[in-house]
Each structure stands twice: as structure tokens, then as C-alpha cells.
Amino acid sequence: MRLDKYLKVSRLIKRRTVAKDVSEQGRVLINGRESKPSSTVKVGDEITVQFGQKLVTVRVERLAETTRKEEAATMYTLVKEESIAKDNLFE
């Protein structure tokens, strides 16, 4: 599944266009590597997303083409969430 679609379906990011933009800005890593919106996401991958001054890392648990709001959180497991200093942002 494409990264931008996974971020939207799992509701980590609410809209696919925003997920695409965030990925293009280099603010999303898959298994520690900078990823494009078209990068493939597989079960077991760790995705790190930079939301402003916060890094959120999740592990992909399942893939689905669509999901209901109540089930979206079952698509991933939160690994860690951390605040970051301005000088440590992704570059």
C-alpha cells in the first residue's frame, strides 16, 4: 500500500493530500529512511512522522483499503511519541 494512502486510511493524517505534502517535505520515515508518498508500506514497518515539534513512531499492524473511524487505530501500534527541539528536526 502507498504511504500517503496508509497515513490517510489509518487516520494518522486526516487527508491524503496532506499526507502527500508531509511526505514530500521529508517529514516521514519508514524504517529510518526518508520516504516518498508512493513508497510501499508493509506490515511490520515502523513509520515516523514529524508533527511540528513532535515525532510519532508507529508499527504497521495491518493494511486495509478502507476502514471505519473506530477501527482505524487497530492498523498500527504506537511505538513512541517524543517532543523534539527545534535544532533536531528532520532536515
**Predicted pLDDT at 84:** 80
Structural domains of the chain, count = 1
Mean pLDDT by 10-residue block, N- to C-terminus, for the chain (91 residues)?
96 95 95 95 96 94 93 94 71 53
Q: What is the pLDDT of residue 52?
A: 87
**Three cell numbers written together for 88:** 533536531
Q: Which amino acid is at 42?
A: K
pLDDT, residue 88, reads 57
d(CA 28, CA 20): 10
List the CATH number of the domain containing 45. Answer: 3.10.290.10
What local confidence, expressed as pLDDT, does residue 37 receive?
A: 95
DSSP characters over 68-80:
-GGGGGGGEEEEE
Q: Which range of residues forms the domain containing residue 80?
A: 3-88
Task: For residue 37, give the nearest of 52, 55, 49 by alpha carbon.
Answer: 49
